[in-house]
Amino acid sequence: MIDLSTQYLGLKLRNPLVVAASPLSKEISNLRHMEDSGAAAVVLHSLFEEQINIESNELDRFLYDGAEVSAESITVFPELQNYNIGPDAYLEHIRRAKQSVSIPVIASLNGVSRGGWVSYAREMQQAGADAIELNVYFIAADPVSSSVEIEKLYLDLVKEVRNTVSIPVAVKVGSQFSAFANMAQRLDAAGANGIVLFNRFYQPDFDLETLEVKPALTLSTSGELLLRLNWAAILYGQIHADMAITGGVHTANDVVKSMMAGAKVTQLASALLQNGIGYLRPLRNQLEAWLEKNEYQSIEQMQGSMSQKNVPNPKAFQRANYMKVLSSYALG
């Protein structure tokens, strides 16, 4: 019997297939479908503090904009009893998710203010989340802010949330740090129970017809996995926090590679958006088949097996590999 189970954030999971934060988790019926299809845990879509603020401002503005302008139309909208502005709907979603599925439910939080991060994390725990994933999506566009200052922001944030809640806290980051190994260690030291590699930053596209900048969403491909494998392999054994790989996990082979690099779980979103939630089932089966075919007993057995410290040529993960790739390209 092949053991696909793994431990992530102290949670015992039946396999390493975790559904990443995506719009799919907004529907309770989808969560049930995920569980039925074999997902080991689900990260809910993110609660965006900024979105809450925007909605709050827009609602206020448009209730207000047409009001008190003319004697005939002193208001233009009925005053509703409740607008569910704020985290209430999200917290209710956590509660309903917990009632609906038995797999762990990880809440995802994207804050903008320190107060927001802390208070929403507390409320997520109260609502029953099994863990919290801090989705730090920060574009360092301000030339005044140095990398030191920005890294401190990350660390302070993790510390504060860590000190606020008792459930596990993972932090999902981008790859664009000057010294990521050092950063990962410091996140680890700040109390992160897990590090999720990596956030995919969405860059806007240009519409050449209208000369307008338009939002663009491109789904990941397996090609993006390599960056994650690289860093997981480097960090494995150097930090205590569990690693999750997300961004580019599409096939059973991708999962196997992630495990071998040292991740505890993989998180999938694009693969499910493309193929449907039911794709988890064949994926799990293929994973099991791969282990069986290659005579692995368990996932645990392979975790970190191809990490930098466990491979015969550790330089492959560093600059030497870069030169090798270049020269192979030139020769090709």
By CB under 8 A, residue 56 contacts another protein: yes
By CB under 8 A, residue 196 contacts another protein: no
Query: Residue 251, Cβ neighbours under 10 Å: how many?
Result: 16
Q: Which of 29, 70, 178, 294 touches another protein (CB under 8 A)?
A: 70
String marking each residue 199-238 x if it binds another protein according to CB under 8 A = ------------xx--------------------------
The CA-based angle 102-105-107, given to 5 degrees, is 165
Strands 169-173, 194-197: pairing kind = parallel
Closest CB to another protein among residues 211, 331: 211
Closest CB to another protein among residues 79, 295: 79
By CB under 8 A, residue 28 contacts another protein: no
Closest CB to another protein among residues 69, 179: 69
Minimum gap (Å) between residue 36 Cβ and another protein: 22
String marking each residue 75-94 x if it binds another protein according to CB under 8 A = xxxxxxxxxxxx--x-----
By CB under 8 A, residue 114 contacts another protein: no
Minimum gap (Å) between residue 86 Cβ and another protein: 6
Task: Please name every residue paired with 109 in a beta bridge, in sequence order, or none if there are none.
Answer: 47, 134
Q: Which of residues 273-332 bind another protein (CB under 8 A)?
A: none
The CA distance from 226 to 146, in Å, is: 28
Q: First CA to last CA across the chain, in angstroms?
A: 44
Residue with tokens 């950063």: 183
* Choices 66-74, 137-145, 182-190, 319-327; region in contact with another protein by CB under 8 A: 66-74
Helices of type H across the chain: 28-37, 49-65, 88-100, 114-127, 147-164, 180-190, 225-235, 252-261, 270-275, 280-293, 299-302, 319-331
C-beta of residue 283 within 8 angstroms of C-beta of residue 18: no
Interacting residue ranges for another protein, rule: CB under 8 A: 52-53, 55-86, 89, 211-212
